[in-house]
Chains A and B, each alone.
Chain A
Amino acid sequence: MTSAPLAASLDPDSLALEAGDPEVGTVMRHEVVFCLPSTPADAIAKLLADNILSEIVVLVDRRPVGYVVKEDVIDHLIAGDIVVSGSDFAVRPPSTNVQARHMLRQSPLLVDEHQRLSEVVSLMAQHERRLAVVTHEDETVVGMVTPREVADFALARRGAVHA
């Protein structure tokens, strides 16, 4: 009797996700570190450093309007637009007039929380981004994916295979 393999008789889009490629909503960081267009460059540096990020999304009225990369902040330091002070205890004037709006790059990478992780990583690689902003279907921002989350998943996947 002729027989087709089971997989040949199924629509792949009707199947649930494989454990090896989960929805990004299940692996994302469940917080969104963001700044406003008016956020000063030194505050952005603090947000990036404190949260171990290379990019930060800029929101206006809860809507992503752009992003800032750490290299742009450092370039302003090199250009002398940001002053690095010497002591933690000094009373200091504002160290910079540079704000997020001056470094804003358009088109943050927005992905849906139901997208597969492999697709999101592929988009990050294609766009050369280190931050994917995860959105709910109502377009509110719900989380983010950075190389840390990607690495954590890769480690967990490797652990599962070895177990």
Chain B
Amino acid sequence: MPELESIASPLGAECDPEDTLSDVLDVLRLQDPVPLLVVRGEDVLGTIGLEAVVPAFDVLDQTSVRDVMRPAPEIDLGERIERGADAMRQVHAEAAIVTASDGGLFSRRSAPVGMVSAAHVLGAIAKNVVDKAPMKIMSGHRDLGFNVPITPCQRNCPIRQDIATYIDYVSQGRYVDSWAVIHETNPFPSMLGRLCNHPCETDCKRGWDPGEEPVTIRSIKRFSTDFAFQQGLWINYKIAPAKGKRVAVVGAGPAGLTCALDLRVQGYDVVLFEREAKVGGLLSTSIPPFRFDHRQLQWELDMIMSTGIDVRLNSNIGSGPDDIKTKDLLDEYDAVFFSIGMMKGRILPIPGSDLPQVIDAMSFLRTVSYDRIPENFPIGGTVVVVGGGAVATDACQSSIKLGAKDVWMVAIEPEDRLPAFGNELHEAKEIGLHIKCGVIVKEVDADANGKVQSVSFAPLQDLQFDPLSGKLIFSSVKEQEHAARWTVGADYVIFASGQMMERPDELVPVTPRGLLAADRGGHTGVPKLFCGGDCVQGPSFIVDAAGWGHRVARSIREYLGEDMQAAGDRIYQTIVERTDDHRQSEVFARVEPGILEAEKRYDMTEVEQSWSDQTAIVQAIRCFQCDSVHHYDQTVCVLCGACDDVCPEKAIDVVVFGEDRERSSGGETLVCKTSGGQPGAGGYEGEIFINYDRCTNCRICEDHCPVNCITFERVRFVDDTMRVVERPGLKVELPLVAVG
């Protein structure tokens, strides 16, 4: 059995206990993974390793080694490695000092002669390993995502919508099937069909081609949902047998609702706390009515609630006297999920910002969502909205529709860099919005009665933006010297200048940025407590919040001990569908949904118009169907290489063993492995690989295969969680039929 002598290293560098971590950082890094000895005089007091840097990251020059060092037990050089490891583990040491007798054979004195750290012990165990197969190191994103036949749009979607499938179903006229596929991961298709920032379209393979534009994925989703709503359909969820575990979800926004639904369907008892008088979070309290169809949102919320989620409205979690306390939730429930969003608007602390006619955009939109006109709102007067993002545009349009005579949007960015996206700005300008860019708000002025009279702004020099994030670089914000201020008369000022998270209480950890502290799975450092959504990520999009809901539900299920691989009582199906080509689609261009004429947009009527069947089908046909993968009949393929030769995207590699063939596609997805006859005696043996990041499903390979061994198939894995039924309580008006 090996002894410590075989793995010990010399004692190495030393430091003083009064040194700071900043003093020793260079040496610590240099010597890692072996820790430094902490020595005072002749005595070894302990050791300090690089791991101490993490908790002291912000205060390295104020943290002394003495405060964070670990003990260093002594052990004889002749002891076994296991004993040395045990000595370290018993006192939570990073290293042990190995000693040897100092003097003659019978001397009782010993002196340090070396050191053994955890890294040395691991190295000793590692010497056993002769098989290199388990050595796994991956480099970078592309190694992981490449060649997996998952579509680029799906890969970019935070909730992993099976986009290619639901679009294909629309192209076939199977609208209800399409809607059901959407609902597999998306509880709010009516909202996301209108308001999603559609990261899927950013990565649509159709858009990769020069001169081409991506498929209108978002609007196709809306079409399917409109159809299902008009047909009076409903989804019944099959609830798994009760798990006997209770989960509290705080905040009924898109993250909280998604998580609540996922957990409820898996048999957990879910209690949903919402401080507003209605569920939906920002969907129902921040997005103005002209952006979506309220009836459809209510329909989707009803489907979620019908699963048996216990909703507690007007229930705030916080530290106020009437609030429910986080500690009580943690005591009462098996897990608690905070998805409280960033619902508080930020009013910039400039002179005059505390006047009664000054409001933040979140409060303004919330009041409008309850069908009320905000206090002090000047019907027939002038409104100034400070900010240039989507919330600012909504506040501007809402102000116009509520009856303001003049509405100004004032932003620091130039007009072509305003954060508002899509047609929103264009729509707002059509109904009379005035825009002023390149100035920064300085002061809200009041008249003699203490009412808002005007707002003054300072002109700015040219701004610079970070090329990666597109965000403003603070150091470039400089006022123009000696330039006159720009002042606009105003009766009411709305600050759309960011949102803030309201921390419930001290139990919930926060980051230095003021957001709740959790990782991507929603785990916090507090047992039972999970956080996710905007309150962790910062202001983001609806689909991101829904993605958080799915991820945190998975984390909670794991935390509560569920076997995620077990099928339970679900019935699983594997669907293999042969798909058609969409080659004729190249003649069709991308079409955006129409919007209501400007003269009809002065009230809260929904602005975006729905599509006809014809438009939806034509747009769906534009999809490449990247989820359809090659199926080679291995009993027929003769490895002739015709598919490789004709592929216009160079996505196929036919490898015949014994032949020197070039592998240029970069593909690693093995789709065919076949042989015929005796290799070396006229026979052949080989493999075919595809690079699905290049393949566009043109199916020219299928056309040119001389033995007709290629087809294209889609494989889907579904379970019986959802069933599409007629909406409960729906009155269907049947046409009268004349009886002969």
Contacts and interface: CB of A to CB of B under 8 A. Distances in A.
Interface of A: 2-4, 6-18, 30-36, 39-43, 45-52, 54, 59, 62, 70-71, 73-75, 77-78, 80, 82-86, 88, 92, 95-96, 106-112, 114, 116, 118-119, 121-128, 130, 132, 135-143, 147-148, 150-152, 154-155, 158
A132 B521 CA distance: 12
A150 to B, nearest CB: 6
A84 B25 contact: no
Nearest to B473: A16
Contact of B118 (A6, A70, A95, A122): A70
A80 B50 CA distance: 29
B195 interface: no
Which of A39, A71, A136, A140 has the most CB atoms of chain B within a 10 A radius of its CB?
Answer: A140
B136 A36 contact: yes
5 contacts: A40-B134, A52-B33, A84-B125, A109-B519, A148-B29
A138 to B, nearest CB: 5
B693 to A, nearest CB: 13
A139 B687 CA distance: 31
Given A49-B123, A141-B144, A150 B54 contact: yes
Nearest to A76: B125
B481 interface: no
Given A74-B122, A86-B1, A138-B155, 13 more contacts: A4-B350, A14-B472, A18-B474, A49-B123, A73-B125, A84-B2, A106-B559, A109-B523, A119-B515, A137-B158, A147-B32, A147-B51, A154-B57
Contacts of A143: 140
Interface string B552-576: 0001001100000000000000000
A130 B25 CA distance: 17
Given A3-B442, A10-B477, A147-B51, A50 B136 contact: no
B81 interface: yes
B698 interface: no
Given A11-B387, A84-B82, A137-B158, A125 B54 contact: yes
Contacts of A49: 119, 122-123, 125-126
B348 A8 contact: yes
Contact of A36 (B122, B126, B134): B134
A124 B22 CA distance: 19
B732 interface: no
A53 to B, nearest CB: 9
B513 interface: yes
A120 B154 CA distance: 27
B472 to A, nearest CB: 5
A66 to B, nearest CB: 9
A112 B122 CA distance: 30
Contacts of B129: 42-43, 45-46
B65 to A, nearest CB: 15
Contacts of B517: 119, 122-123, 126
A83 B2 CA distance: 10
Interface string B347-360: 01111000000000
A33 B479 CA distance: 49
Contact of A10 (B6, B122, B412, B513): B412
B140 A142 contact: yes
Contact of A155 (B29, B85, B478, B479): B29
A75 B477 CA distance: 56
Given A6-B477, A84-B1, A41 B25 contact: no
A123 B539 CA distance: 20
Contact of B126 (A46, A80, A124): A46
Which of B54, B118, B479, B555 has the most CB atoms of chain A within a 10 A radius of its CB?
Answer: B54
B139 A110 contact: no
Interface stretch (B225-233, B463-471, B601-609, B640-648): B463-471
Contact of A31 (B28, B140, B148): B140
B465 A16 contact: yes
B156 interface: yes
Nearest to B476: A16
A119 B29 contact: no
Given A15-B472, A43-B129, A125-B57, A9 B136 contact: no
Which of A10, A13, A39, A128 has the most CB atoms of chain B within a 10 A radius of its CB?
Answer: A13
B420 interface: no
Contacts of A32: 137-139, 144
Contacts of B525: 123, 126-128
Contact of B474 (A10, A36, A50, A88): A10
A151 B148 CA distance: 36
Given A15-B473, A85-B127, A141-B138, A126 B509 contact: yes
B419 interface: yes
A133 to B, nearest CB: 9
A137 B537 CA distance: 12
A149 to B, nearest CB: 10
A100 B467 CA distance: 42
B139 A118 contact: no
A78 B523 contact: no
B295 to A, nearest CB: 32
A18 to B, nearest CB: 8
B463 to A, nearest CB: 11
Nearest to B87: A78
Contacts of A142: 140-141, 144
Contact of A15 (B141, B199, B474): B474
Nearest to A129: B54
B85 A74 contact: yes
A121 B25 CA distance: 16
A3 B521 CA distance: 44
Contacts of B474: 7, 10, 15-16, 18
Interface string B326-368: 0000000000000000000010111100000000000000000
A141 to B, nearest CB: 6
